[in-house]
Amino acid sequence: MQRRYFDHNATSPPSPAAMTAFVDASREVFGNASSVHRDGQMARQRLESARRSIAGRVGRGPKELVFTGGGTESNNLAVLGVVRAVKAGRRHVVTSRIEHPAVLAACAVLEREGVEIGYARPNSAGVIEPDEVRALLRPETVLVSVMHANNETGVIQPVAEIARAARETGARMHSDGVQLGGRLPVDLEALGVDLYAIGGHKFGGPKGVGALYVRDGVEIEPLLVGGRHERSRRAGTENVPGAAAMAAAFEEFDWTSLAPLRNRLATALGAMPGVSINGAGAERLPNTVNATFEGVDGEAMVIALDLRGFAVSSGSACSSGAVEPSHVLLAMGLSPANARSSVRFSLGPGTSEQDVDALAEAATVAFAHLLRLSPTYA
Ligand SMILES: *Cc1c(COP(=O)(O)O)cnc(C)c1O
């Protein structure tokens, strides 16, 4: 059976250019980028060229880019690093209820360290409105962390306006850009953020590598200590093949052209009675459709579609065997039942119109079938 992949927000396959860059760097420049000899210097050059390339594309300088072990680490480093670098006074952070666990769990660690956290709520379309953030800001707020695009709904947040509000109170602004950076053009100067996280495997780069933009002059306490790699912001021998491959993918992609396919899928699904599209009223990533199939279990839809050859995901997280409804959809005001009935479809560079039509057809059949099995079916 043909497999059709609609889970690019979980991970996207590495692009041919990224794989070539990875293999070439592994073979040609295997030296330790911190070694003084020629083999080390060749690795260093490959690493710095990757750094220049990514930094240039987001409109910033190479010294401001820290390579990390992925999106989670980039976000942990931003949230924990900024707050821990502040020695006295400011012990308050503002974030949102729809953040990725990489940010929420870091905030929970800070709470245990005595930092107070304010959580901004999204509106029903999944948008964190700047006024909602403004209302939570205090003179002692040290950091504001609001994601650029949500991984479940694809909703793009008004980060520039939130950053302006943060700056007015003297707080630093971080944004989790893991779903947007490398997929759509990003101008960090225009966005006005102090920190910005990206992760290689969400845009055609390899897993296990990411980057954090840290504006010149912003102090961060490292998470990993040891050598003085990455300007003493992240110890450990540099992952040169990973950085080179991530840079190759970053140069390559613009997912803007997926919007018509995304619209085609949303229209087909939304036309079914009992189906609604979450975040439909907001600006969204051009690849994401999150739909509620009222009356059926999202996990059951995922399994039914998997059996028909489609990889999709339910918004819910499976922790310790129990399926929890999505914290993002609950925060948007969906009932627990409707949150549990939701499925995320995320497209990528290889997705075709044929794939979308086949998915819409399969989802229609699976939904009707599961509804008939459901105990509430009348
Ligand atoms: C995937 C993801 C992360 C985590 O990135 P990893 O590279 O998988 O650690 C963080 N934030 C968002 C929004 C994500 O989608």
What domains are defined for the chain?
4-12+255-373 (3.90.1150.10), 16-250 (3.40.640.10)
Q: Which atom of ligand 1 is nearest to the CA of 73?
A: 9
By most ligand atoms within 8 Å of CB, the mutation choice from 72, 99, 207 for ligand 1 is 72
To which H or E segment does residue 5 belong? strand 4-5
Substitution site in 99, 147, 201, 202 for ligand 1 pocket (most atoms within 8 Å of beta carbon): 202
Does 51 sit in the ligand 1 pocket, CB within 6 Å?
no
CA-CA distance, 73 to 333, in Å (whole number)?
30
Exposure string of 2-31, with b = 16+ CB inside 10 Å and e = fewer, is eebbbbbbeebebbebbbebbeebeeebeb
CB 356 near ligand 1, within 6 Å: no
Whose Cα sits closest to atom 14 in ligand 1?
A: 178
Q: Where are the beta strands (DSSP E) in 255-341?
A: 275-277, 288-293, 310-311, 313-314, 317-319, 322-324
- Taking the C-alpha atoms of residue 277 and residue 300, their distance in angstroms, rounded to an integer, is 18
SS3 assignment, position 151: coil
CB of 70 sitting under 6 A from ligand 1: yes
| Ligand 1 atom with least separation from CA of 207 | 7
Ligand 1 site, residue 151, Cβ cutoff 6 A: yes
Both tokens of 11, joined, read 């991970």
| Catalytically annotated residue among 23, 108, 318, 365 | 318
Q: Which atom of ligand 1 is nearest to the CA of 208?
A: 7
Whether 107 is a known active-site residue: answer no
Strand partners for 214: 195
The rounded Å distance from CA 149 to ligand 1 centre is 11
Please name which of 250, 205, 237, 194 lies closest in space to residue 51, comparing C-alpha atoms.
250
The pLDDT of residue 320 is: 55
Task: Give the position, in ligand 1's atom list, of the atom nearest the Cα of 202.
Answer: 1
Please tell me what DSSP assigns to residue 223: S
CB 79 near ligand 1, within 6 Å: no
Our mutation pick for probing the ligand 1 site, out of 77, 99, 151, counting the most ligand atoms within 8 A of Cβ, is 151
DSSP H or E stretch at residue 298: helix 298-307
Contact status, residue 9 vs residue 279, Cβ threshold 8 Å: no
Residues 6+ apart with CB under 8 A from 259: 286
Instruction: Specify whether the CB–CB gap between 288 and 269 falls below 8 A.
Output: no
Mean pLDDT by 10 residues, the chain (378 residues): 96 97 98 97 98 97 97 98 87 97 98 96 98 97 98 98 97 98 97 98 98 97 96 97 98 95 98 97 97 96 98 74 87 97 97 98 98 75
Question: Quick one: which of 126, 131, 118 has its CA closest to 164?
Answer: 131
pLDDT score for 90:
75
* Spatial distance between the Cα atoms of 92 and 28, rounded to a whole number of angstroms: 47
Q: Is residue 320 helix, strand or coil?
A: coil
